[in-house]
Chains A and B, each alone.
Chain A
Amino acid sequence: MRIRFVIAMFVILALVVPALMLARDGKAVTAKQLVGTWKVVSVTNERDGKKIDGFGPNPQGITSFIGNGRFVRVLTRSDLPKFASNNRNTGTPNENQAVMQGSIAYFGTYSCTAAEKSCTYHIEGGTFPNWVGADQKRVLTLTGDELRETNPAASTGGNAVLVWKRVQ
Chain B
Amino acid sequence: MRIRLVLVTLVVLGLVFAADNAQAQSLKKQIVGTWSIVSVVNDVNGSKIDLYGPNPQGQIIFTRDGHFSFSNMRPGRTKFAANSRTAGTPEENKEAMGGYLNDFGTYGIDADGTVTLHIVGCSFPNWDGTEQKRRITVKGDELKWENATPSTGSGYVVITAKHAK
Q: Which residues of A contact B (CB under 8 A)?
A: 37, 60-62, 64, 66, 68, 70, 72, 74, 76, 80-83, 85-91, 93, 96-97, 99-101, 103-107, 124-130, 132, 155-157, 167
Interface of A is mostly: mixed
B72 at interface, CB cutoff 8 A: yes
Given known pairs A88-B152, A100-B96, A128-B80, the reply for A83 and B67 (CB within 8 Å) is no
Q: Which residues between 49 and 75 of chain B lie within 8 Å of chain A, taking CB atoms?
A: 57-59, 61, 63, 67, 69, 71-73, 75
B2 at interface, CB cutoff 8 A: no
B153 adjacent to A72 (CB under 8 Å): no
8 Å CB contact of B77 from A82, A99, A129: A129
Q: Mark B93-109, 1 if CB is under 8 A from A, else 0.
A: 11111101111100000
Give the complex CA separation of A107 and B128 in angstroms: 19
Closest A residue by C-beta to B83 = A130
Given known pairs A64-B63, A80-B125, the reply for A129 and B58 (CB within 8 Å) is no
B140 at interface, CB cutoff 8 A: no
Given known pairs A88-B101, A128-B85, A130-B83, the reply for A96 and B123 (CB within 8 Å) is no
Known: A74-B103, A87-B152, A97-B93. 13 other contacts (CB 8 A): A62-B120, A76-B121, A83-B124, A88-B126, A88-B153, A96-B97, A104-B85, A105-B102, A106-B71, A126-B100, A129-B77, A157-B84, A167-B67
Given known pairs A100-B88, A100-B93, A155-B85, the reply for A72 and B151 (CB within 8 Å) is no
Q: How many A-B residue pairs have CB under 8 A?
A: 148
8 A/B residue pairs, CB under 8 Å, sorted by A: A82-B126, A88-B98, A89-B153, A93-B94, A101-B88, A107-B71, A127-B96, A156-B85
